[in-house]
Amino acid sequence: MSKKDTIPVRVFLPEEKNPKFYYNLMADMPNRPAPYLHPATKQPVGVSDLMGVFVKDLAEQELSSERYIEIPKEVQEYYRMYRPSPLHRAYQLEKALDTPARIYYKYEGQNTSGSHKLNSAIPQVFYNKIAGVKSLTTETGAGQWGTAVAIAANFFGLPLDVFMVKCSAQQKPHRKAVIETYGANVVPSPSNITESGRKILSEDPECGGSLGIAISEAMEAAMGRENTRYVLGSVLNHVILHQSIIGQEAMEQLQMVDEYPDIVIGCAGGGSNLGGMIAPFVRENLAGRASSRIIAVEPSACPSLTRGVFAYDYADAACICPIAKMYTLGHGFVPASIHAGGLRYHGMSPIVSQLYNDKLIEARSEPQTRVFEAGMLFAKTEALLPAPESAHAILAAIDEAKRCKETGEEKVIVFLLSGHGYFDLGAYQNYMSGNAVDAQYSDEMLKSGLDSLPAA
Ligand SMILES: *Cc1c(COP(=O)(O)O)cnc(C)c1O
Beta bridge mates, 369: none
**Ligand 1 center to 265 CA (angstroms):** 13
**Ligand 1 center to 389 CA (angstroms):** 6
- Atom of ligand 1 minimally distant from the CA of 117: 15
Classify domain 3-20+72-113+245-450 by CATH number.
3.40.50.1100
State the first-to-last Cα distance of the chain, in angstroms, to the nearest integer.
60
Distance, CA of 170 to CA of 351 (rounded, Å): 32
271 Cβ below 6 A of ligand 1: yes
Among 144, 242, 378, residue to substitute to test ligand 1 (most atoms within 8 Å of Cβ): 144
Q: What is the CA radius of gyration of the chain?
A: 20
Q: How many CB atoms lie within 10 A of CB 410?
A: 14
CA 20 centroid distance within chain: 22
Nearest CA to ligand 1 atom 7: 272
Among 149, 418, 420, residue to substitute to test ligand 1 (most atoms within 8 Å of Cβ): 418
Could you state, in chain order, the average pLDDT of each consecutive group of 10 residues for the chain (456 residues)?
Answer: 77 90 98 95 93 93 97 96 96 98 97 96 98 97 94 98 92 90 97 96 93 91 94 96 98 96 97 98 98 97 96 88 94 82 89 98 97 98 97 98 98 98 92 88 89 81
**Ligand 1 center to 304 CA (angstroms):** 15
CB burial string 44-81: b at 16+ within 10 A, e below: ebeeebbeebbbebbbbbbbbeeeebebeeebbebbee
Nearest CA to ligand 1 atom 1: 342
Which pLDDT score, from 0 to 100, does residue 239 have? 98
**Ligand 1 center to 299 CA (angstroms):** 12
**Ligand 1 center to 1 CA (angstroms):** 38
**Ligand 1 center to 227 CA (angstroms):** 29
Distance of CA 219 to CAs 52, 225, 321, Å? Answer: 11, 10, 8
**Ligand 1 center to 84 CA (angstroms):** 19
E strand or H helix that includes residue 426? helix 425-432
119 Cβ below 6 A of ligand 1: no
246 Cβ below 6 A of ligand 1: no
**Ligand 1 center to 256 CA (angstroms):** 27
Contact indicator for 208, 309 with CB cutoff of 8 Å: no
E strand or H helix that includes residue 412? strand 412-417
270 Cβ below 6 A of ligand 1: yes
Backbone φ, ψ for residue 9 (5° rounding): -65, -40
The H-assigned helical ranges of 300-424 are 304-307, 350-357, 368-382, 388-407
Distance of CA 244 to CAs 57, 88, 296, Å? Answer: 17, 19, 16
146 Cβ below 6 A of ligand 1: no
292 Cβ below 6 A of ligand 1: no
**Ligand 1 center to 157 CA (angstroms):** 25
273 Cβ below 6 A of ligand 1: yes
115 Cβ below 6 A of ligand 1: yes
CA 417 centroid distance within chain: 11
Which pLDDT score, from 0 to 100, does residue 321 have? 84
Distance, CA of 139 to CA of 223 (rounded, Å): 14
389 Cβ below 6 A of ligand 1: yes
